[in-house]
Amino acid sequence: MTVRTFPTTVVGSGTAYPGRPIPTAEVAARLRLDLGWLDHFVGIDARHLAVDPDTGAQTATLTTLGCTAAVEALAEADLRADDVDFLVLATATPDELMPSTANRIADGLGLVGVPTYQVQSGCAGAVAAIEVAGALLATGHRTGIVIAGDVCARHYVPEVRGRDVDPAQLVNHVLFGDGVGALVVTADDRAGLRVRDTRHAVLAAGREPGQIVRWFGAADVDAGPRESPFAEDYKAIEGLVPRMAEDVLDELLDRRGWSRDDVDHLLPPQLSGRMTDAIVRRLGVPAERAVNCVRSTGNCGNALPFIQLDRVRRIARVGARIAVVCVESSMWIAGGIALECVA
Amino acid sequence: MTVRTFPTTVVGSGTAYPGRPIPTAEVAARLRLDLGWLDHFVGIDARHLAVDPDTGAQTATLTTLGCTAAVEALAEADLRADDVDFLVLATATPDELMPSTANRIADGLGLVGVPTYQVQSGCAGAVAAIEVAGALLATGHRTGIVIAGDVCARHYVPEVRGRDVDPAQLVNHVLFGDGVGALVVTADDRAGLRVRDTRHAVLAAGREPGQIVRWFGAADVDAGPRESPFAEDYKAIEGLVPRMAEDVLDELLDRRGWSRDDVDHLLPPQLSGRMTDAIVRRLGVPAERAVNCVRSTGNCGNALPFIQLDRVRRIARVGARIAVVCVESSMWIAGGIALECVA
């Protein structure tokens, strides 16, 4: 089966982060962790959070961040809300179950009468969102906003001195950050980053999830949660993700007839500074061609590929070839996007 | 802007409900409500629940129900899991935030290497899911499974004698039910229900949401929920939904060149028995052409249009014209699907 190439060009992008960057030294001091150990085993220097880390009070929502990033992307694309035919949002952490955050953002942007689609996803959500947008453009829509992001506020329990810290949750405080990336995509023949192909495959095949994030309802509050909010198998993630990243890159390049040397900008998975560096080395692409943000943003889940694309869009020369690789460990999803900078 | 008609034909369908039908008399007795009043103001005779109503213990998940409905739909379509190129799920109540329930169902069905898309949505989710599936078919995929459903277990707090009942939640116990509908759609030229057009528009334009459903995280459990799990503006819903239903039906018919008399099967919104009857009267379509399930299923959220389509698929004659109308009060979303039974 051959899936046709989408007439999708990225003509604008924007990002949004809540509050100030919180240095890892500050997190380490609060949690009484060794900074040298964190730098060696995690490799993240700072992250933004949509909560006050001392009190847990929420300071931003996915809706407000999504609006900010989308407004920037529209301005970069020299378009207005009136030009938008649809909105797609990928997230693991919607502000509410209903209304969808996609609809909250659409309303915040002043969109009326257009359809929205909110994709529930993790690290591979950006690929799913680009595919949905590309398919909508293929059926006659002209221009859409595609947003991806996460906000961990509802799950963020501040760990303060003098209070017991759940050891299993410690690393999450260092790994994850909040942020949103937004793209404007169009079927019009414009200069920008043209999507040449995507790859998106659920590969669990019966394997246990590598990551679980749960939500609680009134019944859980009433009777007490039945389960922990998170479960990760970091051993399985460390073992499988680099190989999956290599496989999906090769598959993407094979289908385009590109070699690894042809890739001008490689956007690798952004699990942690250390994991990302290891994956880039394994892929054999020169480090200077890799576009990384995880050291300064933390792992922002769905947002990362769009944050990376926002950086590439501002530096890519005409003709540059771009490969996005992401892996979602939840059900072992391999994602990839091949793009080319066109005049 | 003209969006092209999708090459989408529904060639199989299935449904799944948890446990036994729970009569409204039983709910009324537990909540000490007047059965005559419920019959007059709600008009629902029974519903299925994925929880034991006495203890709140969960008895089924969206994953298990989704698998059951999808297996039935594949058998009806005379297809196997190997024939499936993608899976789309629409729901307001995923089992977890990650993995997506779409991926859990895909894995349960034995799908490997295909993409999945989970749309976070309410009563208009079936339209969004059909649009995503149609757009994917338009880009070269051949066959997909499209599922829509909800399970309220995480939010279900059993109200037992001798315990205070939150009056604001009472009507939810009577209104809502759990269930799933699944369709198999194909771009192949086969007999079935062919999608001729869809309508899907967010019409809030700054208006406050008619319905909010929240989720809670570890922080809410730790510090206590910041807000109630639900908020509904039933007055706004009663006032706006019938008019929105009429508008979206007219728009759908105008675009097809169909009159109301041309509609052989009308699938109206299934908010409650009473509201549905009122909407059908307002639309001026003979009651015998309306396809309703809400009296025996309760309001199953995302699932309803597919449950209705499952009934129609089994009775429609070749040439029959079908109009699906749904309204999601969260952000006032109008949804519609026009189909035709083809040989």
Residue A106 contacts B, CB cutoff 8 Å: yes
CA of A145 vs chain B CAs: smallest distance (Å): 15
Residue A1 pLDDT > 60: no
For residue B180, the model assigns a pLDDT of: 98
Output the CA angle B46-B47-B52, nearest 5 degrees: 120
Residue A211 pLDDT > 90: yes
Residue in chain A lying closest to B221 (CA): A221
Could you report the per-residue pLDDT of B179-216, keeping only the tens digit for each?
999 999 999 999 999 999 999 999 999 999 999 999 99
Task: List the beta strands (DSSP E) in chain A.
Answer: 9-16, 22-23, 46-47, 86-91, 116-120, 143-150, 179-186, 192-202, 211-213, 230-232, 265-267, 321-328, 333-342
Q: Which of A6, A120, A155, A173 to mutate to test the interface with B (most CBs of B within 10 A)?
A: A120
Nearest-CB residue to A107 (from B106, B157, B204): B204
Could you report the per-residue pLDDT of B99-157, keeping only the tens digit for each?
999 999 999 999 999 999 999 999 999 999 999 999 999 999 999 999 999 999 999 98
DSSP one-letter string for B201-222: EE--TTPPPSEEE--B-HHHHH
CA of A140 vs chain B CAs: smallest distance (Å): 4
Could you report the per-residue pLDDT of A135-150, keeping only the tens digit for each?
999 999 999 999 999 9
Chain centroid to CA B310: how far? 12
Could you report the per-residue pLDDT of A47-90, keeping only the tens digit for each?
999 999 888 899 999 999 999 999 999 999 999 999 999 999 99
Nearest-CB residue to A112 (from B103, B203, B328): B203
pLDDT mean across residues, chain B: 94
**Using an 8 Å Cβ cutoff, are B291 and B266 in contact?**
yes
Residue A308 contacts B, CB cutoff 8 Å: no
CA–CA distance, A159 with B257 (Å, rounded to integer): 62
Residue type, B111: L
pTM of this structure: 0.97
Return the number of CB contacts < 8 Å for A and B: 256
Contacts with A37 (C-beta within 8 Å, 6 or more apart), sequence order: none
Q: Tell which B residues from 203 to 222 touch A, by Cβ distance under 8 Å.
A: 203-206, 209, 211-222
Residues of B in contact with A1 (CB under 8 A): 85, 140-142
Query: Among A265, A290, A46, which residue's Cα sits nearest to residue A177?
Result: A46
CB contact under 8 A, B119 and A115: no
